[in-house]
Amino acid sequence: MAFNLTVKHNNRVFSRNDLSLVYKEINNKFKELPINEVESVIEEIETHNGLILKSGVDSFEFSHLTFQEYLVAYYIVRAGDISRFNYSDLLKIPDELAIGVALSSEPCRFLYHLLVNVIFKEYIDQDFFNKFFSRIELEKPDFEISAIICITLLSVYSNVCDRIQTYNNAYERLALKELEGLKDRFEEMIEKMIGNNPEDILEGYYEKNYDNSYAVLKAKGTFSNYRKLVSVNWGTPLICFKRLTSIDEYNFPDYLYWSKDRMNIENEK
């Protein structure tokens, strides 16, 4: 009910009719609740468990927003495959998805599938990014420092770098400026989560691409399947990591990037 109210109806405050509609949408999942007892169920929820309170003549809301967020996150985590949800629906709930990462028994894997396979696969929604990672910092999921979390973060970072290169030669100057700000913030967040030297964490999965160490950024447009050496124009040289291997359930990107000036100086020597 919390998920449908939040995602399908986009409501934090809802009417009796909204509750009735959601009840009918999910009723077939609960055999013990006949469809004609919607009024009784609403009354039961309101008067007996305190999760939903009447806040006006015909308005209801969860007694605290965190209850609604938690129940939405709990539903998503229990649902299994995150890719079964609509992309546009997931963009509405960055806070709930961050809570879902914290609730997951495998937060690194959940984060990988959410970000790499769904949210940042094609399009970078900056508003989602800012809200999601701000909430991640607040929730503090129990991430283990592993190749999975490192690859997840650098995959999104590489995606941002690809987009910057695309916009660098186009007319979308505002988008370019926003992406550069996103890239800077993401670098700071990666340093907080995995440090400034991902090379050791990536051992066995990726190696430095010494032949083209500064960038093998994906060419766009008609050359979408072609990789070429390009110059990085926004002032931050990149190190390119080339994939060595993978794990059955993951489809790791062929290349990852990281800022050369973020790498450990001693390691570079």
Distance CA 176, CA 165 (A): 9
* pLDDT digit string, tens, across residues 101-160: 999 999 999 999 999 989 887 778 888 988 999 999 999 998 888 899 999 999 999 888
More confident residue, 245 or 116: 116
Q: What is the largest CA-CA distance in the chain?
A: 73
Reported in sequence order, the residue ranges of the chain that DSSP labels E, i.e. its strands, are: 13-14, 52-56, 59-62, 206-208, 238-243, 255-259
Whether pTM exceeds 0.85 = no
d(CA 218, CA 238): 13
- pLDDT grade, residue 72 (50/70/90)? very high
Residue 261 CB burial class (10 angstroms; 0-12, 13-18, ≥19): middle
* Lowest mean pLDDT across 52-61, 152-161, 190-199, 226-235: 226-235
Q: Give the SS3 label for residue 54.
A: strand
In angstroms, the CA 118 to CA 24 distance is 29
182 vs 216 pLDDT, higher one: 182
Tokens of 69: 């967020």
Report the DSSP pairing between strands 255-259 and 206-208: unpaired
18-27, 84-93, 116-125, 167-176: segment of lowest average pLDDT: 167-176
